[in-house]
Structure 1
Amino acid sequence: MKALSVSRFNALWLVLMAVMMATRFKHFGDMLHLPDASMAIFFLGGLYLRHHWTFVVMVLLAVALDWVSISYAGVSDFCITLAYSFLPLAYAVLWYAGRWYAPRMTGRAMSYLAAFIVALLAAIGSFAISNGSFYWLGGRYANPHMSEYVARLWQWGPLFVRTTISYVAVALVLQAVVSRVVASTNGHEKARA
């Protein structure tokens, strides 16, 4: 997949930031709010935006949104521990998995399926880092041990990963549809010329 034009890059970046701002306050969602799309946004940012500096800005946006949600929106600060410092690493797994896969996107069905699988694996790795750092370094569990950690990993992991890959699947389907429409439109215009 070739790099985006400046205007498309800016438009997509604004969309990704807006989705993060709209969803960051509710990890699991409820009747009025979509679940947090941050993990998917980091994968999609790597896949489409790719720039290292953009990753840094997105991490800073996530931190700023967390600060606002805790300071002004009444969100609990339970997760803000030493482990919070591992979130950039967890997000980097997603971003750089997307960035790594980007040149392999051909627009064929199999490349979309492969992107989905890469996102799934990256989401599992990212969640293991964020959840593992919270469990082992967060200081919230008096006597952490492996069996409790594995139980918590199985309790929360599927929900976080399912949310991430659901957003990624929607984005990949949208990309496939838009690519087909653009290719069809271009084909019709060339046939007329």
Structure 2
Amino acid sequence: MKMPTGPRFAALAGLLALVMVATRFKHFGDMLHLPDASMAVFFLGGVYLRRHGAFVAMLLLTVALDWVSITYAGVGDFCVTAAYAFLPLAYGVLWYAGRWYAPRLNGQVRSLAGAFGVALLAAVASFAVSNGSFYWLGGRYPDPNVAQYVSRLWQWGPLFVRTTMSYIAVALVVHAVCARLAADSHATRHQEA
């Protein structure tokens, strides 16, 4: 898959940023709150945007949204600890896994399944980094130990990974539909020529 440029790049970056803003904190109220799509946005950003500068921009957006959430939207700062410094690594796992897989992605089922598999592995690794750093370095648990960490990993990991994979599955379906429409359009133009 070719990396988008110009207006297409800007549109994709804007769409991913919009999804991040719409899901990062509960600004529409509990009934309309969508699960946080941040992990999915970072994987999809790696797939479609790929640029290192775009990764940095998305990181800055997450920090800005967290600051606004805590400062103005009444969201607690429980998760903001020394471990917050590991979020770039956690999100980097997703971004660079997507960036690595991007040249292999097309509209074919096998390619889409491969993207889903890479995203799943990256989501698990990313969650392990963010959750592990929070647990071991966040200072919120007085006597951290491996058994308690594994218990918490199993408690929260499936939810975060399932949410991430749901967003990615939707994005891959949209990708497949768009690839099919583009192929049909290309074939029609070839027939008319």
TM above 0.5, yes or no, is yes
Instruction: State the alpha-carbon separation in 1 of the partners of residues 50 and 122 from structure 2.
Output: 16
Mark the runs of 5 or more structure 1 residues left unpaired by the alignment.
Answer: none
Instruction: State the alpha-carbon separation in 2 of the partners of residues 18 and 150 from structure 1.
Output: 34
Instruction: State the alpha-carbon separation in 1 of the partners of residues 154 and 9 from structure 2.
Output: 37
Instruction: State the alpha-carbon separation in 2 of the partners of residues 128 and 99 from structure 1.
Output: 20
Instruction: State the alpha-carbon separation in 1 of the partners of residues 5 and 80 from structure 2.
Output: 38
- Aligned residue for 1:36, secondary structure, equals coil
Counterpart of 1:93 in structure 2 is 93
- Asked whether the 8 Å contact 2:106–2:179 carries over to 1, the reply is no
1:103-155 deviations in whole A, cap 9, x for unaligned?
A: 11133110100000000000000000000000000000000001000000000
What amino acid sits opposite 2:174 in the alignment?
L
What amino acid sits opposite 2:115 in the alignment?
A
Normalising by structure 1, we get a TM-score of: 0.96
Counterpart mapping for 1:36-55 below 5 A: 36-55=36-55
- Aligned residue for 2:79, secondary structure, equals coil
Shift of 1:49: 0.3
Aligned Cα root-mean-square deviation (Å): 1.1
What amino acid sits opposite 2:64 in the alignment?
A
Shift of 1:5: 3.0
Shift of 1:2: 1.1
Counterpart of 2:107 in structure 1 is 107
What amino acid sits opposite 2:164 in the alignment?
T
Instruction: State the alpha-carbon separation in 1 of the partners of residues 101 and 44 from structure 2.
Output: 11
Instruction: State the alpha-carbon separation in 1 of the partners of residues 107 and 100 from structure 2.
Output: 16
Counterpart of 2:65 in structure 1 is 65
Shift of 1:189: 2.2
Counterpart of 2:34 in structure 1 is 34
Instruction: State the alpha-carbon separation in 2 of the partners of residues 20 and 106 from structure 1.
Output: 24
What amino acid sits opposite 1:20 in the alignment?
M
Counterpart of 1:78 in structure 2 is 78
- Aligned residue for 1:152, secondary structure, equals helix
Mark the runs of 5 or more structure 2 residues left unpaired by the alignment.
Answer: none
Counterpart of 1:147 in structure 2 is 147
Shift of 1:191: 1.1
Shift of 1:30: 4.9
Counterpart mapping for 1:124-143 below 5 A: 124-143=124-143
Instruction: State the alpha-carbon separation in 2 of the partners of residues 184 and 23 from structure 1.
Output: 34
Matched, 1:160 2:164: no
Counterpart of 1:121 in structure 2 is 121
Counterpart mapping for 1:20-31 below 5 A: 20-26=20-26, 30-31=30-31
Counterpart of 1:186 in structure 2 is 186
Aligned length: 191
1:67-104 deviations in whole A, cap 9, x for unaligned?
A: 00000000010000000000000000000000011111
| Runs of 4+ residues deviating >4 angstroms | none
